């Protein structure tokens, strides 16, 4: 386990991100302009960040609330911090990855109604 590594609330909704080691943690604090978090003893190591996860998430979401999720995803990815959107099922099925991976298929059920189902592998 690690922290922060989860969904985060931004101004317009949620996105996922992970700063799972010390290098990424330092990059995150620099990217969101929060040097105070680097100086906070509660967040000095991965283990301490995990133990103080509630306070950590509150502090990070305070910063993330200043912009939308697309803004944060772009800026985090730009510096090498894993981040991405949280998609609805229709968005995921209709995404380039969803279409390429054939995550859904159309089927005709007994009532002859068309429905879209998840593809199991």
Segment 29-35 mean pLDDT: 97
Tell me the pLDDT tens digit for each residue of 36-61: 999 999 999 999 999 999 999 999 99
Domain ranges of the chain: 5-85, 89-118
Tell me the pLDDT tens digit for each residue of 2-22: 889 999 999 999 999 999 999
Tell me the pLDDT tens digit for each residue of 58-117: 999 999 999 999 999 999 999 999 999 998 888 888 877 767 776 655 555 566 566 565
pTM (two decimals):
0.79
SS (H, E, C) 5-65: EEEEEECCEEEEEECCCHHHHHHHHHHCCCHHHHHCHHHCCHHHHHHCHHHHHHHHHHHHC
In the chain, pLDDT over 90 holds for what percent of residues? Answer: 69
Give the 3-state secondary structure of residue 28: helix
Half-sphere exposure of 44 (CA within 13 A, CB side): 4
What pLDDT, on the 0 to 100 scale, is given for residue 93? 80
What pLDDT, on the 0 to 100 scale, is given for residue 62? 97
State whether CATH 3.30.1540.10 applies to domain 5-85. yes
What pLDDT, on the 0 to 100 scale, is given for residue 100? 72
121: pLDDT strictly greater than 60: no
Give the 3-state secondary structure of residue 26: helix
């Amino acid at each position: 386990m690690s922290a922060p590594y989860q969904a985060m609330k931004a101004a317009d909704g949620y996105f996922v991100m992970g700063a799972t080691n010390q290098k990424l943690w330092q990059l995150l604090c620099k990217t969101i302009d929060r040097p105070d978090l680097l100086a906070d003893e509660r967040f000095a190591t991965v283990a301490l960040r995990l133990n103080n996860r509630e306070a950590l998430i509150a502090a990070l979401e305070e910063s993330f609330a200043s912009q939308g999720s697309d803004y944060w995803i772009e800026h985090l990815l730009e510096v090498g911090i894993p981040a991405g959107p949280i998609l609805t099922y229709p968005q995921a099925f209709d995404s380039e990855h969803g279409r390429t991976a054939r995550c859904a298929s159309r089927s005709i059920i007994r009532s002859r109604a068309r429905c879209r189902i998840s593809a199991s592998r």
